[in-house]
C-alpha cells in the first residue's frame, strides 16, 4: 500500500510540474491558465488530482474530497462564464450533493452498500434543497410552479421507506 501511495505522489508531482512547465513555455497555455474566464479550472484540476491519488493509491475515500473540490470548481466556472454570481444564494445547496457523489463513488469502488445508499440520499436531499431555495429566491422560476410536487414526492418516499423498514 505504501508503494502505491509513493507512486501516486510521484505521478502527481510529474503531472503538476509538466503543467507548470507548459504554462511557462507556451504562451497559448499561459493565456488559457491565467485567463479571466478560466481561473476556476485549476480548482477542478485539484479535485481531479485528488481523485487520481485516491485511485492510484487505492484509497476510495479520497473521491469524497475530490468531488467536493471539483464540484465547487465547476460551479465557480459556470458562475464565472455566465456572470450569475447571485446564484450563490441557493447554489450552496449543491455542495452536499458533491459529497453525495463522492460517497456513491466510494460505495461503488469500496463495495460499501451503506455509503452507496447514503450518498444517493444526500444527492436527493441536496437537489430538493436546491430546487426549493432556488424557487423561493427567484433563481429557478420553473421550479416555483412545481416545488409542491417535490415536497409531495419526498413525503411519499419517506412513507415508503417507513413501510420498507418495517418489513425487513
41 neighbors 74 (Cβ within 8 angstroms): no
Give the pLDDT confidence of 60-90 residue by residue, as tens digits: 888 999 999 999 999 999 888 888 888 888 8
Residue 115 CB neighbour total at 10 angstroms: 22
Domain of residue 66: give its range: 2-167
d(CA 126, CA 167): 28
Tell me how many degrees the CA angle 89-47-43 measures, rounded to the nearest 5: 60
Give the pLDDT confidence of 94-118 residue by residue, as tens digits: 999 999 999 999 998 888 888 888 8
The structural domain count of the chain equals 1
Cα-Cα-Cα-Cα torsion 14, 18, 19, 21, nearest 10 degrees, comes to 140
d(CA 44, CA 50): 10
pTM (global) more than 0.75: no
Amino acid at each position: 500500500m505504501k508503494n502505491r501511495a509513493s507512486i501516486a505522489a510521484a505521478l502527481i508531482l510529474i503531472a503538476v510540474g509538466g503543467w507548470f512547465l507548459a504554462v511557462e513555455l507556451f504562451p497559448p497555455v499561459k493565456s488559457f491558465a491565467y485567463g479571466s474566464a478560466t481561473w476556476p479550472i485549476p480548482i477542478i484540476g485539484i479535485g481531479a488530482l485528488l481523485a487520481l491519488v485516491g485511485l492510484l493509491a487505492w484509497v476510495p475515500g479520497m473521491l469524497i474530497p475530490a468531488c467536493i473540490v471539483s464540484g465547487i470548481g465547476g460551479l465557480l466556472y459556470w458562475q464565472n462564464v455566465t456572470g450569475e454570481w447571485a446564484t450563490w444564494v441557493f447554489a450552496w445547496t449543491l455542495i452536499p450533493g458533491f459529497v453525495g457523489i463522492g460517497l456513491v463513488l466510494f460505495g461503488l469502488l469500496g463495495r460499501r452498500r451503506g455509503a452507496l445508499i447514503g450518498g444517493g440520499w444526500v444527492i436527493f436531499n441536496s437537489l430538493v434543497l436546491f430546487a426549493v431555495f432556488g424557487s423561493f429566491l427567484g433563481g429557478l422560476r420553473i421550479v416555483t410552479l412545481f416545488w409542491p410536487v417535490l415536497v409531495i414526492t419526498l413525503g411519499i418516499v419517506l412513507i415508503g421507506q417507513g413501510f420498507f423498514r418495517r418489513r425487513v
